Structure 1
Amino acid sequence: MKIAVVGGGSTYTPELVDGFARLGPMVTELVLIDPAAERLEIVGAFAARILSRYGHAAKIWWTSDLDAGVTDADVVLIQLRVGGQNARIQDETFPLECGCVGQETTGAGGLAKALRTVPIVLDVASVVRRRARPDAWIIDFTNPVGIVTRALLDEGHRAVGLCNVAIGFQRRFAGHLGVEPSQVTLEHVGLNHLTWERAAYVDGVDRLPDLLTSHLPELAAQVHLPEHLLTTLGNVPSYYLSYFYEHDRHVREAANGPTRGQRVAEMEATLLEMYRDVTLTEKPALLGQRGGAYYSEAAVGLIASLHGYDDNAVHSVNVRNQGTLPFLPDDAVIEVSARATAAGPTVLPINPLPPDLSGLVTHVWGYEELALDAALRGGRERVYRALLAHPLVGQHTQAADLADRLIASGRDHLAWAR
């Protein structure tokens, strides 16, 4: 199986390669693709050393030529960041000037990222369509995953969105329960970065109520929310829900220190220096602070299932709604637990969502529809309308101000705004 990684020059790529080296015997060829040639050379050479350390026989190579890299690929994994960390830092900064949370995947910052990212991902996908194998899968790990996956599916690509949030909860719940992670099946539901764990089944029994009783302090701390909120909801929200449930706290805290993007940029510089060391053959501990915990396990597991190596595995994926959430249209993209096979993911049954959850999902889905329209067609008014629809913005004066700041900060990456 040939796997092509678009954005392969990322400092996080060694985590992915480590997963293939440990868990991916079906991989025979791995190609890393990135326009940043110097950075790619450093990451690629380190990735080759990781494979060698594990004795993995896959051929690995790297290139800045997208056409060559994806030719005859069975899987194309997209993990790119348009504009790099500098653009992320802007996404996390300009909303604060309007009293709104600055975050790279939700709110105004998330919209800025979507506007830059969707056209580039669709360009990549058009090359994949021409050069990869006819039945190749595109796996999108590029944020905002839900919006990007919707764009890919609307263009007719064989695509699925991947997020690492659920696999992190699965691992934590399994540790608390003293069972293997594979024994825990989550009822994970919502939109990308707007999800809740509503059940945790072990041998057909929901153990989440037990966890909310015996491990409430740990669970609340992990998602940065108060214990009474989890008790009231009766579930465990994704930590991204803290931007909704405690918006003002995030705004206050962001005013007192560097953004996450600034910290990651410093970390990446250190990691690249470490990767230059030709004696380094395993991922450094610092990489664990980079984010994306268990991404490699999630990616390798999903790829294996989609190619028939493990038809019983359950994954957290972004797929068409197709009636799963009856209050959303069928063509909406949702994030849910699904059993993946060579025929594609099959969503597991879920219990009806209560009004507070379904209302928030519907609200953010409406924003995502408008965000995708703005990403595809551009225009200040489309940007303004998407911001107006977002529950973290809402007020028209803020939406107007944010629209102008967003366009000004991202003009270099928005062809329609130049």
Structure 2
Amino acid sequence: MKNKGLKIVTIGGGSSYTPEIIEGFINRYKELPVRELWLVDIEEGRHKLETVGGLAKRMVKKAGLDCEVILTMDRKKALKGADFVTTQFRVGLLAARIRDEKIPLKYGCIGQETTGAGGFAKAQRTIPVILDICKDMEELCPDAWLINFTNPSGIITEAVLKHTNIKCIGLCNVPILMQMAAAKALDVSKDEVFVHFVGLNHLVWGRNIYYNGKDVTAKVVDALIDDLEYGVKNIPDNEWLKEQLKDLNMLPCPYHRYFYHTDEMLDEEKKAAETEGTRGEVVKKVEEELFELYENPNLNIKPKQLELRGGQYYSDAACSLINAIYNDQRIVMPVNTRNNGAITDLPNDVVIETSCLITKHGAMPLNVGMVEAKIRGLLQVVKAYEELTIKAAITGDYNTAVQALIMNPLVTSSKVAKKILDDIIKENIEYLPQFKTYYKENLKN
């Protein structure tokens, strides 16, 4: 690998995030010699791939790198002999995301693309596709690492690790934003702060925060109570309950608002859906503006406006992770990987999001042990939901699917779960091969 340079494949290459991953590889080129970067997409995404691919080529040319950017719809051709594969695709495109947000809202439940019933729907569409990609990888690049930031990242990563032979690590930008918030609270740089992250993707806590050899968790939590600006683009920024944070004495992630402030978040979503639109509808407009920028033949850098898209730092984290594996850097990063006993309250074979030592062998989670009761219950319930969600996606068993939704804390009742599931299947059937028999026999008419 080190002699010939690297072949990296990005599936979902027409994503608006692609300029960030290109910038990440450019910035690390001396230590991460990418010779071939293949951007792969599907026919429906051809225009976006050609647009963002043109920008990628201009960025590489401006940097003066010996790196070829190749655009293709032929996934198998791209994967042959790859060293690393990154995944950033959205099955059903933004139209499916908007459905994921609207269906639960119809029944008085949180409508969000990665958590709750919306996240379930996205997982059902995505798992068959990621397993198909992994089947190709097992044939064409069996030694390659799969770096996944297709959401829901933890669920997708667990499906890969449980049902394929591919080496896979999942990524999320939320821990990066949390570390930045902790650093802001302490008025120091991000790299001076160490956060021990514990939990699941979009349900992760900063359990211990260290600066200058001292545990400063309480100080960061106090700053959050005192109205530290803290959130992500796609989540309304309402206030945390001070008494709860004091007792928690951990840094919650922005997605905890859906579980801790469910009523308020639901009200926010309903109001938004009736005015500016769901987050997916807003993102659609932002993407249209971004691609207008990308089409400018004189643009040869990542535009600042990409930060408005939300999800920034995903791609840069992927570059850092690839660099750490390739160069055996032995650094600590928060990633999604197999538990392997790190959190003793969860099964060994499930995927968790936690701080890990990154070596050429992959991610080795730092020991956590048992977690406190104040986070254990929610952690275990959401993990059980995730396990059932993966089982439903693999088997296409309707009863398992409805059980998964009932298990999810953001779905209000079993009858509501069934109504949501039926709508998900009816409105996504072209992307749900596992449920086609059930659909024909029970829902088609």
TM interval, shorter chain, is over 0.9
Distance 1:352 1:297 in 2: 32
Aligned to 1:358: 376
Distance 2:326 2:241 in 1: 41
In the alignment, is residue 299 of structure 1 matched against residue 313 of structure 2? no
How far residue 13 of structure 1 moved from its aligned partner, in angstroms, is 0.8
In the alignment, is residue 121 of structure 1 matched against residue 130 of structure 2? yes
Distance 2:312 2:217 in 1: 22
Aligned to 1:251: 266
Distance 1:331 1:241 in 2: 24
Structure 1 counterpart SS, 2:334: strand
Contact 2:19 2:302 survives alignment (8 Å) = yes
TM-score by length of 1: 0.95
Q: Output the aligned Cα RMSD.
A: 1.7
Structure 1 counterpart SS, 2:271: coil
How far residue 319 of structure 1 moved from its aligned partner, in angstroms, is 1.0
Contact 1:220 1:230 survives alignment (8 Å) = no
Distance 1:225 1:142 in 2: 29
How far residue 135 of structure 1 moved from its aligned partner, in angstroms, is 2.4
Q: 1:183 aligns with which of 168, 184, 192?
A: 192
Contact 2:394 2:434 survives alignment (8 Å) = no
Aligned to 1:226: 240
Contact 2:14 2:48 survives alignment (8 Å) = yes
Contact 1:77 1:140 survives alignment (8 Å) = yes
Structure 2 counterpart SS, 1:95: helix
Change (3 A) 1:330 1:269: same
How far residue 21 of structure 1 moved from its aligned partner, in angstroms, is 1.4
Structure 1 counterpart SS, 2:226: helix
Contact 1:5 1:31 survives alignment (8 Å) = yes
**Aligned partner of 2:100: which letter?**
D
Alignment length (residue pairs): 416
Change (3 A) 1:271 1:87: same
Structure 1 counterpart SS, 2:296: coil
**Aligned partner of 1:344: which letter?**
G
Deviations, residues 212-231 of structure 1 (Å, cap 9, x unaligned) = 23454344643644250322
Q: 2:169 aligns with which of 160, 164, 174?
A: 160
1:13-412 aligned at under 5 Å gives the runs 13-25=18-30, 26=32, 27-35=34-42, 36-132=45-141, 134-154=142-162, 155-214=164-223, 216-219=225-228, 221-222=230-231, 224-226=238-240, 228=242, 229-257=244-272, 258-311=277-330, 313-350=331-368, 352-412=370-430
TM-score by length of 2: 0.90
Give structure 2 stretches of 5+ with no counterpart.
1-5, 232-236, 437-445
Deviations, residues 322-373 of structure 1 (Å, cap 9, x unaligned) = 1111111110111100010001111123364211211111001111111001
Structure 2 counterpart SS, 1:340: strand
How far residue 106 of structure 1 moved from its aligned partner, in angstroms, is 1.0
The runs of at least 4 consecutive aligned structure 1 residues that moved more than 6 Å come to none
Aligned to 2:439: none
Q: Percent identity?
A: 39
**Aligned partner of 2:172: which letter?**
C
Distance 2:346 2:340 in 1: 9
Contact 2:342 2:369 survives alignment (8 Å) = no
**Aligned partner of 2:7: which letter?**
K
Distance 2:172 2:239 in 1: 21
Give structure 1 stretches of 5+ with no counterpart.
none
Change (3 A) 1:342 1:357: same
Structure 1 counterpart SS, 2:199: strand
Distance 1:65 1:99 in 2: 42
Distance 1:224 1:186 in 2: 23
**Aligned partner of 2:251: which letter?**
V
Answer with 70-79 or 171-180: which moved more.
171-180
Contact 1:140 1:160 survives alignment (8 Å) = yes
Contact 1:43 1:272 survives alignment (8 Å) = yes
How far residue 19 of structure 1 moved from its aligned partner, in angstroms, is 1.4
Distance 1:319 1:301 in 2: 16
**Aligned partner of 1:380: which letter?**
Y
Answer with 19-28 or 404-413: which moved more.
19-28
